[in-house]
Amino acid sequence: MVILADKRYFKFSRRFQVVVPTVFIFSCSSALFFWSVNNTQEALQSEFDRKAKRYSQNIAERLELSKSKVQSYQAFFQGSNYISYNEFEQFSKALLGKVNTLHGVGWTEITPHRERKNTVNALREQGYPDFEFTAPSQDGMVKLGIKDVYYPVLYVYPYEQNRRALGLDLSELPGRLDILNSIEQTGKGRVTPPITLVQENENERSFIIYLPVWKKYTNNEELRGFISGVYRASGILGSVLNDAQKHNIGILISDISSKSGAEVLIERAVSAHSFIEANQFTIDFHGSQYQIVISPSAEYVSNVNDWVSWVILICGFFISALVQAFILMMSGAIEHTNEMVKRKTKQLTLAIEKAQSASQAKSMFLANMNHELRTPLNAIIGLVTLCLKTDLSNKQASYLQDAKLATHTLMSLINQSLDYAKIESGKLELEKIEFDLSDVIKKIYAVFQMQAKQKGIDFKLIIDTHINRMLMGDPLRVEQVLLNLCSNALKFTDVGSVSINVTAKTISHQHEEVIIRIKDSGIGISKEQQATLFQSFQQADNTTTRKYGGTGLGLAISKQLVELMGGHIVINSEIGKGCEFVITLRLQKTQQSTTFTSQTIEQGYLADESADETDNRIEIASASESKQKMSLHGVRVLLVEDIEINRMIATELLESYGAKVTQACDGQQAVHTLKSDNDFDVVLMDIQVPVMDGLQATKVIRAVPQLAKIPILAMTANAMNEDIDNCHAAGMNGHIAKPIHMVSSILASLPGPQAQS
């Protein structure tokens, strides 16, 4: 059924799994069955062979024994020249008693014709008045005619059952003279072929043994006569035959010496062909060859019980059926499970795809929202900054300062959420550039040193002097992580100290492991709170937001950034006993090996006078710019910007530094302006402008030979690495991320003495 089952329901592999073991087990048990049957048959055969041999031996012995009585007669007659009928009778009575194996004994004397009369008379005188030499004929026994020599039976015993034989000339019986002659020639006794006695039925076969008796008085022995013993085969072999019959064994004895073919002597329960083979023996019995065939009867074969073999076969059948059922069940279950797994995997893949596209859509939305939020926020920051430059009352100035602080917080939140979205969607790409670690630390120290002073907290920086400062990585992101951790440390510490401890370990000749510990003596974080601290939007407890503000994104982003850099971040803290954040960064070394110069750097060493503002990088930068008294006096700037308010702020800002600004609303206008007036010092190009975008416009400008060298700076709100690469590819010299950086960027791009100022 399994083999013929429909391919749709039964795959080839399953069919194979089910059929092979089943066939194998069934073949094994069949082989075992045949082996066992064979074994049993061999055992039965050898047992039968043993029995057959025993029977054949018994038969041979019985036949041999039967002769002994006749031999006694031979000796009796041999011992005397004359024995009367009476003496013969007396001897027979004594010898045979009631023995019934011997059907009859006779004495035959070779009588020449001249003695016929005397012999007949002698017998008549001894009590047999009707005695005559006779021969068999169709009408019964008749008087024998004249012959040279007669072979008359003179005495018989017992008389009653053998009376017809008395006087019978043996040579008148067919084939009998040959036997008598051969006895004379060989001197040995002979047996007749099987005969049926006159008074018996066809099935009862007999034979006669003739033994010679010699004349005593002659030197050269002359034959005197014969002793004949008539035996019924069943009489001699009766007990053997009965025993064999009881044991269901058939016996066939035939005389195979006669030329006319085998003559059956005994035939009992001879069976047809069976798996137990018949045994055949041949014995010589007084010149006749007797073939004895001993075979198992039908009953003998049917009585043989080979349970073991059948038990093996049936068990084998059941085991293979069980195995098959088991495999069918198992393979069915496995197939079902596989189907389920396949279906579920498909569903999961679909769900993942769906989730991914949803997440992508979310990230895209967030990125777009960020861009949209940042543009007006930048405008607000710009306007507030401009406003602060005008004459204001103290109250107005204080309000505006607060507004400026609030906008910076908002900007930082927008930046963080964008970072988080980028990390989540796997879009954050880290830079791998050569940077000086001491620059990063210097900046951090500068940012927080002042803040610590204001709070009355000790702020320490401890650096291992063996550290290799020059490393490969993303300095901005390292700075971002440190800013976040230090800002937290200062935020949550009111008394005591905050320290930054920098050590390093060389892990291979290419890599260095930088370990930065930021430790504070602030409020600390409980163990339970630590467990979820690095998840997004998690704060130690809800009161934190109320008291200290914050978004709960900083640590999540820091952890992700550190891990992106191949490092890790751990926290050691106890509530009320402060916190220690340990960042381990794996960074590649550079060719240069410059180390820090002082082992312990305390306040003042790296302090930048400009770092007096908030915990924000923007603040540092803007503060630095404002204090550097930069000047763009006489510099001609072409400002390409489509949004009017941005145009206005940028123009105001640039003009406040002494620059001369010409405005263009799109790329095409910019190209026109430049073609008609090529005396500009620098072009500030917004990328996303209508009609002709910034990149396209740059390519057109660069194609004009006189304008090939003019510095062009891109203005992008949130530049991805890819955007910056595109800017450079289009032929731009650099990019400005925020309008606040405009002045320093312009100065950096200008050739000659202005750049240095």
Residues that bind ligand ADP in the complex, under the rule CB under 6 A: 484, 488-489, 492, 520, 522-525, 533, 539-540, 544, 550-556, 579
Closer to ligand ADP by Cβ: residue 555 or 587 = 555
Task: Give buried/exposed letters for 333-342 (b at 16+ CB in 10 A, else e).
Answer: eebeeeeeee
Closest CA to 274 of 295, 294, 292: 295
The answer to whether the CB of 252 falls within 8 A of the CB of 295 is yes
d(CA 206, CA 200): 9
How near is the Cβ of 470 to ligand ADP at its closest, in Å? 30
Bridge partners (DSSP) of residue 264 are: 254
How near is the Cβ of 597 to ligand ADP at its closest, in Å? 29
d(CA 70, CA 210): 8
How near is the Cβ of 583 to ligand ADP at its closest, in Å? 13
Closer to ligand ADP by Cβ: residue 447 or 712 = 447
Element (H, E) at 501: strand 497-506
Closer to ligand ADP by Cβ: residue 492 or 657 = 492
Closer to ligand ADP by Cβ: residue 414 or 553 = 553
Closer to ligand ADP by Cβ: residue 244 or 555 = 555
d(CA 21, CA 681): 89
Q: What is the DSSP letter of 82?
A: -
Structure tokens at 675: 């073609």
Element (H, E) at 290: strand 288-296
Element (H, E) at 588: strand 579-589
How near is the Cβ of 645 to ligand ADP at its closest, in Å? 30
How near is the Cβ of 439 to ligand ADP at its closest, in Å? 24
d(CA 211, CA 586): 127
Structure tokens at 563: 């891990």
How near is the Cβ of 486 to ligand ADP at its closest, in Å? 9
The answer to whether the CB of 413 falls within 8 A of the CB of 450 is no
How near is the Cβ of 484 to ligand ADP at its closest, in Å? 6
Integer CA distances (angstroms), 473 to 374, 555, 590, in order: 27, 20, 10
CA dihedral 67, 70, 76, 79 (to 10 degrees): -60
Bridge partners (DSSP) of residue 685 are: 640, 714
The answer to whether the CB of 300 falls within 8 A of the CB of 47 is no
How near is the Cβ of 542 to ligand ADP at its closest, in Å? 10
How near is the Cβ of 479 to ligand ADP at its closest, in Å? 15
Q: How many CA atoms lie within 13 A of 421 on its CB side?
A: 19
Closest CA to 483 of 599, 377, 600, 620: 620
Backbone angles phi, psi at 740, to 5 degrees: -65, -25
How near is the Cβ of 492 to ligand ADP at its closest, in Å? 4
How near is the Cβ of 362 to ligand ADP at its closest, in Å? 20
Closer to ligand ADP by Cβ: residue 161 or 551 = 551
Omega of the bond prior to 158 within 30 degrees of 0, cis?
A: yes
How near is the Cβ of 525 to ligand ADP at its closest, in Å? 5
Round to the nearest angstrom and report the end-to-end CA distance of the chain.
96
Closer to ligand ADP by Cβ: residue 552 or 734 = 552
Closer to ligand ADP by Cβ: residue 136 or 550 = 550
Closer to ligand ADP by Cβ: residue 523 or 736 = 523
How near is the Cβ of 377 to ligand ADP at its closest, in Å? 19
Closer to ligand ADP by Cβ: residue 159 or 534 = 534
How near is the Cβ of 516 to ligand ADP at its closest, in Å? 14
Closer to ligand ADP by Cβ: residue 379 or 579 = 579
Closer to ligand ADP by Cβ: residue 288 or 536 = 536
Bridge partners (DSSP) of residue 416 are: none
How many other CB atoms are there within 10 angstroms of residue 310's CB atom?
13
Closer to ligand ADP by Cβ: residue 523 or 664 = 523
Element (H, E) at 663: strand 660-664
Return the axis-axis angle of helices 12-78 and 307-388, rounded to nearest 10°.
160
Bridge partners (DSSP) of residue 321 are: none
Bridge partners (DSSP) of residue 232 are: 206
Closer to ligand ADP by Cβ: residue 295 or 539 = 539
In this structure, the chain runs to a length of 757
d(CA 523, CA 533): 15
Bridge partners (DSSP) of residue 263 are: 255
